[in-house]
Amino acid sequence: MQSIFQNIYKHPLLPEPDLQSIMHLHKQVNFNKGDIILRSGCIANEYYLLETGLVRAFVINYNEDEITTGFFTDGEIIISPPSLFQRTPSQETLQAVTDCIAWKIVFDDFQQLYHNLPGFREWGRLWFSQQLFSLKQRSLDMITETATNRYLKLIKEKPQVIQNVPLKQIATYLGVTDTSLSRIRKDIVKTTGN
């Protein structure tokens, strides 16, 4: 258990006593495959450290189709930042793809830590800057990389997505049709023999 906190809240300005305070404010929760963690239209009042499992974020587009916007895997934070921090209804739905073990912290406890632990504030700034970088990189990849390269990157960075998520959901995340993704997968098998 402690390792997930050490990995996620890793920062040189967070000493062990502060880490213990942070851990104390988290509660273990389990989600079953298919559980909705946050429903679109609801305001997030917590975020989760994902110890094991896989969660996806999705929206419903103008055609009433589900479009996957992100995946959360082991050791990541399951969160809807605009909803949690701006106290606005979430545009995304967060759903467990597999059974999950996670650690929940509610907004008020987060605020308490943020105001009382300078190292936690610094960790938060660093985490947000990394998230901004990742989001920008994903936007650039959608424009500058081929669908094949985006798929290969997903395999490399989050192999559990490929193993556990239906192709249709992966296709929407990559911005391609199911048919195109099937063709990409066949081409990769032909090229690599895998």
Q: What single DSSP character describes residue 92?
A: S
pTM score above 0.85: yes
Q: What single DSSP character describes residue 43?
A: B
Helices (H), the chain: 2-8, 16-24, 81-86, 107-116, 118-144, 147-157, 159-164, 167-174, 178-192
Mean pLDDT (the chain, rounded): 94
Q: What is the mean pLDDT of residues 146-153?
A: 94
Residues 23 and 105: their CA atoms lie apart, in Å, by 9
Residue 2's pLDDT band (boundaries 50, 70, 90)?
low
CA pseudo-torsion sign 42, 135, 186, 160: negative
pLDDT of residue 112: 95
In DSSP notation, 8-42 reads HT--TT--HHHHHHHHHT-EEEEE-TT-EEE-TTS
Task: Find, among 63, 122, 61, 54, the residue nearest to 94 by Cα.
Answer: 54
> Residues 71-108: pLDDT tens digits?
999 999 999 999 999 999 999 999 999 999 999 999 99
Residue 194's pLDDT band (boundaries 50, 70, 90)?
low
